[in-house]
Chain A
Amino acid sequence: MGRGWLPALQLLRRGSKAVTRHWKAMHFQRQKLLAVTEYVPPRPAVPPHCLPAPRDRPQEEDVMSGYVRLLRRQVEQAFRSSRMVAVCQYNSMPDEDVVTMRHYLRKHNIEVKFVLNEIVRPVLAQSKYRNLLPLFVCRNILLVSPETRAREMLRVLKGIPQVNLLGACIDDTILSRQGVENFAQLPSLEASQGQTVGALALLPSQTSSLLQRGPSLLTALLDEHIRRLRDTGAPGKPPQEQGKGNH
């Protein structure tokens, strides 16, 4: 009756404490609990060495960050939506000159795009503009425009020695610098269409006069004949000639 019953917990408190400086073996119950609640990682249904190696795709994803993808898309969009794409070499220019050049080209609806070669080269290699690939070495700029105003572009670029026109792709036709200069000399589409229509319409306009030429010559000859007979012949003859002329 006097002896109290100490709870089992207290037995643990004799001897060393829970946190010791020397290694202490876990209590058996704690050991069992930890063994039962150990983390078992989930096993895949198909063993990974049976699946096709997915090593290639993660590498490309690492290299192609979202920004690179966006820039590529922008370049593709520029090529798709513009009729004229000119490639120029850009040598370092003072900033205000760059702004002035952008301003003058914008007046002719030409946009200036600074491009990086490592972005443009893969885009071009997969598209139909493969022959423009050798142009993209060193710093380049693209002049894109939905219209084909080559004459104004050449005039602006002539005043800027630091930008050298290398080549262009106008209406899906790749042109060299000389080709662009020749293209600029051509008359506009409306003018050449008008010239063609005029040349074609020239011959039909002459048809009516051609057809009338024979009979008009005949009447002229007969009139001349009548005049001569009147001058030299007797008064009896002219009425007969007049009757023949009426037929």
Chain B
Amino acid sequence: MASKISVVLRPVKSIVVRFCPFEPNVESTRKFLQCIYHKKIQATNRNCEVTADVRHDGSEPLVDVMFADGDRLIMKGANLTTVEMLTALGSRCNAKDLKEEQKSKKSP
């Protein structure tokens, strides 16, 4: 299911996934990281830097997305499922894409 959601990463500058692998609540965050590295999603934006920050300090799993227009999306993956995180990111990316298209249409 999670691999069927396609996310267009064009408006995204960088994604940092921070988690502590010895904690029990990191499964959805790790699955999210795995899905992000899928070739279809990576193909939408080759310049997007995806970094995995592996810690061992008992901190909560975190996904930090920096967009090209300065916006920031922080998702705390402890109580979220992978599908929820992907749909949230996907909807925001689509919204930004639409805005970009409208802006480029308005200004010829």
A residues in contact (CB < 8 Å) with B: 89, 91-94, 131, 134-135, 137-139, 161-162, 164-167, 176-179
Contact = CB atoms under 8 A, between A and B. Distances in A.
Interface string B62-93: 00000000000000000000000000000000
Nearest to A91: B37
B95 interface: no
Contacts of A177: 54-56
Nearest to A90: B34
A150 B27 CA distance: 26
A161 B34 CA distance: 12
Given A89-B34, A91-B34, A167-B56, 9 more contacts: A89-B21, A89-B33, A91-B36, A92-B34, A94-B39, A135-B22, A138-B27, A165-B54, A179-B56
Interface size class of B (residues with CB under 8 A): 20 to 34
Interface SS of chain B: helix, strand, loop or mixed? mixed
B5 to A, nearest CB: 15
A137 B34 contact: no
A137 B33 CA distance: 12
Given A138-B27, A161-B51, A178-B56, A167 B21 contact: yes
Contacts of A137: 26-27, 30
A166 B38 contact: no
A94 B34 CA distance: 14
A121 to B, nearest CB: 13
Contacts of A131: 22
